[in-house]
Amino acid sequence: MQDIFRLVAKRLGLGLITLLVISLLIFFAVELLPGDIAQAVLGQGATDETVAALRERMGLNDPWFIRYFEWLLGAIQLDFGVSLISGDPVSSAISQRFANTLFLAAYAAVIAVPISIVLGVIVALLRNTIFDRVANVLTLTSISSPEFFLGYILILYLSVKTGMFPAISSLRGDMSFGDLLYRTFLPALTLVLVVTAHMMRMTRAAIISLLASPYIEMARLKGVPPWKVIVRHALPNAWAPIINVIALNLAYLITGVVLVEVVFVYPGIGQLLVDAVSKRDFPVVQACCLIFAATFILLNLAADVMSILTNPRLRHPK
């Protein structure tokens, strides 16, 4: 048990160090932009007095290390400053948008994860058959297609030509849960098509590699049915790589939704990031990037911990 706690603590420490380095990169990415940030926000027609006042309000006259540690301390307390455009706290602007992004990611994950695992097991059992070849072609096509391309194809056939689903995911506070699922189906389906292919192929590869193991051959020689060999012998030992793949794709669902949210005008944090970049609202940009990085690192840590817990060889490395 102590070995597990030590490994988990080590992973958490590495994750915190990685997040600290990423916070430095995010902060200095804005600092290294050419020109004066205050002048870029106000435009070329701003007077010197207005620019000086904005520089004072943004703290740009302080040394960079003071501004970084003040921003980092505020971010730890979930205080990312004030939006330069609206004047509202960044945290209040992000909270609802991030909740919408989490809902869309969860919606896609509920569909994609079980389908990927089931299809991966089926194509592993039916490898080198017509079904396996067709599945490989379709998954390679899905992986190779950009998200925005898949989104526009779905809009063309499921919205413009048939009118089955709305092309724009306009959300309201008084919507029912069924209406919410209906209006967000197309962006969720786009994400499902992207991540299902990758998870299915990795599940197939993990199962096929285990099917060549001696204990699987022994189970087959004993006359164990093929489905029982997969469910009781192969799948439990394949959970570690499958969990890693699922966690990475869940991280993508949250951090890689920017293009999908822009295509469907979905009010998530990705759309907020794009709007903030176009308006040069740097506090919002920094906050969105830091939240994306923290979410990705957290899900990777969860994948490492689950791999340790499900694999005895990782729990007892000696």
pLDDT of the residue at 150:
87
Task: Give Cβ neighbours of residue 119 (< 8 Å, ≥ 6 apart).
Answer: 135, 196, 200, 203
Sequence ranges of the domains in the chain: 96-279
**One digit per residue, pLDDT tens: the chain, 318 residues?**
566 777 778 888 888 898 899 989 988 887 776 666 676 666 666 777 777 777 777 777 777 778 888 888 888 888 888 887 777 888 888 888 888 888 998 899 899 989 988 888 888 878 888 888 888 888 888 888 888 888 889 999 998 888 888 888 878 777 888 888 898 999 999 988 888 888 888 888 877 877 777 878 788 788 888 777 777 777 777 777 777 778 778 888 877 788 888 889 888 888 888 888 887 788 888 898 898 888 888 888 887 777 777 665 555 555
pLDDT of the residue at 185:
92
Nearest to 243 by CA among 198, 306, 299, 296: 306
Nearest to 101 by CA among 250, 249, 246, 267: 267
pLDDT of the residue at 215:
79
Task: Name the pTM for this structure.
Answer: 0.81
Name the strand (E) or helix (H) holding 259.
helix 258-263
pLDDT of the residue at 45:
67
Name the class of domain 96-279: mainly alpha
Name the strand (E) or helix (H) holding 41.
helix 37-42
